[in-house]
Structure formats: structure tokens, C-alpha cells
Structure 1
Amino acid sequence: MATPMHISRPSIFKPPETTHSHRNRYGPPTITLYKKKPLLVSFASISSEPSPSSELKKPEIELEFIGPKAGNDGSYPLDRARAVSGEKLLRNIMADNKIELYATYGKVMNCGGVGNCGTCIVEILDGNDLLNERTNAELRYLKKKPDSWRLACQTIVGNKENSGKVVVQRMPQWKK
């Protein structure tokens, strides 16, 4: 009985004369060796990305968003969200979680997140150290505002290594 072949480099494999191959309509090519013994050949791809099961958990930032106006009972509405550290802007996190960012004028006249209008102002009540430094657009629009005020479209939440909690006051200009 003949010994089976070992295929080390599939790209240069030339089947011996006693074999034939054909493409199966519903799957990978089939190579028949030694009469009536089909051998299914498949090529595995090697990915540089780790599999989800072996991937380490990325650091997360927990966010709390306090509404601009108190309700009838005197408490402020509170929304919560989570984000992977260093991957998203505050504006995008709020949009993804359907958390209101803009006042009436800002809904119509915002710049779409490029830092040209100043309508996405928020106040960071806690966790300012978990955010990026103020950008040039923020320095321009917020030069007469408190240091805790930020533009949501310019604020990156986290730095890919830190984790913690950030408390955000939405529309701080509405506070009395």
C-alpha cells in the first residue's frame, strides 16, 4: 500500500499522475488520491488579531450624564453609558446611547463634530483626569469659561490604558 503524501507548501503542490482534482460546486476543491479515497483540502488563514476568547478585556470608562434641568421632584435626570477607554469622542458616545447633547439651537446649527460652533458644551463634574487635554478649538471657544467645561466633539474619553468614572453635566449653560 502506498504512503499518503505530505503537502508542506500548497501553493506549489503538483498532484502525482495517479490523482485528479476537481472543484466541488458546494465547497473547496477535492483531490482524490489512490483511487476512490477523496481528500478534502482546505487552507487555514492565519490572522494577527487575537481571538475573542484569548483577548484581554480592554479598560472601560463608566459615564454618568446629568440632565440640564431638575424634574418636578427636584432631582436631575441621569443617564449612564460605558465606553472602551480611548476609542471614542464624548459626542459619539452620547449619540450612540441616544443621550441628548444639544439645546434647540444646537440641534439645527451644530457643525457636525468638527469643533467650529461650540454648541456641544458639557461640564465635567468628575473624572477630568480621564479625558484628553483641551484642543485648540476648545481653547478658542471656551477661553472665558471654567476649566471644567469641554466641547463634546473634541473630548476623547480615556487613553486606552486608564479606566474609571466620568460625570458629565449636559448643557451647563442652562444651570441656574
Structure 2
Amino acid sequence: MATKFSVLIGMQSLSSRNENNSLIYRRPKTNYSILSSKNKPIYKLASSTITESTTSSNPEKNPKIELEFIGPKVGGDGNYPVEKASAISGDKLLRNIMSDNNIELYATYGKVMNCGGGGSCGTCIVEIIDGKDLLNERTNTELRYLKKKPESWRLACQTIVGNKENSGKVVVQRLPQWKK
């Protein structure tokens, strides 16, 4: 993965990215003029550019993570309802994936009293049934809120799904505190 960087001279950037995600370098002219009214140097960018392509000729397809969300209560047929979603590896938090797919995350209290994903309320608890290795490690926030909870419990707002390189399936139990 390429990292965007810029070298600044005055207020002008010497590198940027174009629409093809290629890095473009610009050399400032060695001569510059000074505005007599403001006494500030003006750096003019050279018109020529050097382009370094950062995209490969065969770009790899972004790996996907398949997710299954198990409902907290048994349905009318005697089974727990399951909702499915998928996401690009390392691209989103579990909370955002659930929100984007209209998958219920919060209990009644949590719907009105959640922190909006800031990691300061602990209302977005989920249990990871399978695929724990496809998620990031527990954050300090999770360690604080979930210190007396099972290791498989996570805060959806702190859980990154994938690491941009892995793919697989994650099974998530919604509202594990309701499960009996």
C-alpha cells in the first residue's frame, strides 16, 4: 500500500496524486521573486512533472469478509434468525457494517443512549462466535468496558473487520447478554 506524502516549500506542495493514484513530483524553480508589498517569498512550481506509477499492471481484487449476524432471540420456527453481509477487508468497523446493512445492534436502551460509535458507552456489545482471527485485537477501550466479560465479546464500534489482506467468514452473535 502506497503512503501519500507531501514535501512543503512555503505553502506549495511538491507532490500529489492524480486520478490514477500515481504520485506526481514537482520541482520548484530555483529563482523566486519577492512581493514588495508583503515581503513574502513566492515559490513557483515548475511546469514539468515526474510521474511514478504506484499501481501495478494486475491490481489484486480487494479481499472480502463475509459476515453472519445471529439474532438474540429464537424466531417462530425455533431457530435463531441469521442476517448476512459482506465488507472489504480492513475497510470498516463492525458497527458501520451493521448500520449500513440495517442490522439491529442495540437493545432498547442502547438505541437512545449510545455514544454514536465513540467507544464511551459499551452498548454495542457483540459476541464473536467464529472468525476472531479476522478482526483486530481488543482495544484499550474494550479492555476497560469488557474486563469481566468473556474474551469473545467485543464492542462493535471498536472492532475493525479484516486487515486489508485477509478474507474469510465471521459469525457474530448480536446482543449476547440476552442469550439464554
Q: What is the TM-score with the length of structure 1 in the denominator?
A: 0.71
1:150 matched to 2:150? The reply is no
Match of 1:100 in 2: 104
Match of 2:7 in 1: none
Q: 1: CA distance between counterparts of 2:55 and 2:108?
A: 45
Greater share of strand: 2
Q: What is the TM-score with the length of structure 2 in the denominator?
A: 0.69
Q: Using the aligned pairs only, state the percent identity.
A: 79
What residue ranges of structure 2 are gaps of 5+ in the alignment? 1-17, 23-53
Name which one, 1 or 2, has greater alpha-carbon Rg.
1
Q: 1: CA distance between counterparts of 2:19 and 2:159?
A: 37
1:77 matched to 2:81? The reply is yes
Q: 2: CA distance between counterparts of 1:46 and 1:163?
A: 28
Match of 2:38 in 1: none
Q: 1: CA distance between counterparts of 2:98 and 2:58?
A: 30
- 3-state SS of the aligned residue for 2:172? strand
Deviation of the 1:55 alpha carbon: 3.5
Match of 2:60 in 1: 56
Deviation of the 1:56 alpha carbon: 2.2
- 3-state SS of the aligned residue for 1:157? coil
Match of 1:165 in 2: 169
- 3-state SS of the aligned residue for 1:106? helix
Letter in 1 for 2:72: P
Q: 1: CA distance between counterparts of 2:161 and 2:101?
A: 15
Letter in 2 for 1:91: R
Distance 1:175 1:46, change over 3 A: closer
Deviation of the 1:72 alpha carbon: 1.9
For 1:41-66, what per-residue CA distance to the aligned partner results, in whole angstroms no more than 9, with x for missing partners?
xxxx7732759x95421111000000
Q: 1: CA distance between counterparts of 2:59 and 2:137?
A: 29
1:67 matched to 2:79? The reply is no
- 3-state SS of the aligned residue for 1:173? helix
Q: 1: CA distance between counterparts of 2:87 and 2:103?
A: 14
Letter in 2 for 1:105: Y
Q: 2: CA distance between counterparts of 1:54 and 1:154?
A: 33
Letter in 1 for 2:167: S
What residue ranges of structure 1 are gaps of 5+ in the alignment? 1-44
Q: 2: CA distance between counterparts of 1:79 and 1:129?
A: 21
Match of 1:124 in 2: 128
